[in-house]
Chain A
Amino acid sequence: MMILFWASLVLIVVSMAIILYRLIKGPTAPDRVIALDAMGVTLISVVGLLSILVGTRFFLEVILLLAILSFLGTVAFSKFIEKGEVFDRGDSD
């Protein structure tokens, strides 16, 4: 059973590497953000698997956290790319 987990981990790391390639290559900024988002999601998987492998439940917090942050990052980057700034000031319109 452990082998299965290890194998899954390796495969996921491989997919991470592929995503990383997209992250590095681009070619456009949105591409990179998409890659980053995918990266975040894969990271969640990695952490999940790792917590099984390490054998502790204390990393389960990390999963939710990652989900939150990944979402946050995606939104922030998207807005940055779309508008060049992250927050609307609220006084311009």
Chain B
Amino acid sequence: MSVIIGFLFMAAVYLILSRSLIRVVIGTGLLSHGAHLLILTMGGFSGSAPPVLEDSVTDFVDPLPQALILTAIVISFGVTAVFLVMAYRAYQELETDNMTLLKGNDEHD
């Protein structure tokens, strides 16, 4: 599982470093998948039932990481949406999706 997480992060970072804005956006999507899976992994995999009360089940998986992931998912959804809109607005205004051309000058421009 950890290997998969590492793989996800690797792919995400690779995409984020690329030149195309869309690929960068996709990279952030993968990044959040990786992060969520990592939280899940951190909860451990012991426990045999979903953390929902049911008669005669006592061995639940750890519910806390799930709650955390849920929060994280929603947040990253919001961030993705903002990023996406920002990306296309940037494309509209700057007329490029090439990250290299998005460099700009630090000094008074």
A residues at B contact (CB < 8 Å): 54-56, 58
Considering only CB atoms and an 8 Å cut-off, how many residues of chain B contact the other chain?
4
State which residues 77-91 of B face A: CB under 8 Å: none
B residues at A contact (CB < 8 Å): 49-50, 52, 54
Query: Across the interface, which residues of A come within 8 angstroms of B50, CB to CB?
Result: 54, 56, 58
Which residue in A54, A55, A58 is a CB contact (below 8 Å) of B52? A58
Extra A-B contacts (6), CB below 8 Å, given A54-B50, A58-B52: A55-B49, A56-B49, A56-B50, A56-B52, A56-B54, A58-B50
User: Please, could you name 8 A-B residue pairs with CB atoms under 8 Å apart, sorted by A?
Assistant: A54-B50, A55-B49, A56-B49, A56-B50, A56-B52, A56-B54, A58-B50, A58-B52
Taking the closest CB of chain A, its distance from the CB of B84, in whole angstroms, is 13
Query: Across the interface, which residues of B come within 8 angstroms of A54, CB to CB?
Result: 50
Taking the closest CB of chain B, its distance from the CB of A29, in whole angstroms, is 16
Complex alpha-carbon distance, A58 and B52, angstroms: 8
Complex alpha-carbon distance, A29 and B42, angstroms: 38
Q: Which B-chain residue is minimally distant from A57 (CB atoms)?
A: B54
Query: Across the interface, which residues of B come within 8 angstroms of A58, CB to CB?
Result: 50, 52
Complex alpha-carbon distance, A58 and B66, angstroms: 15
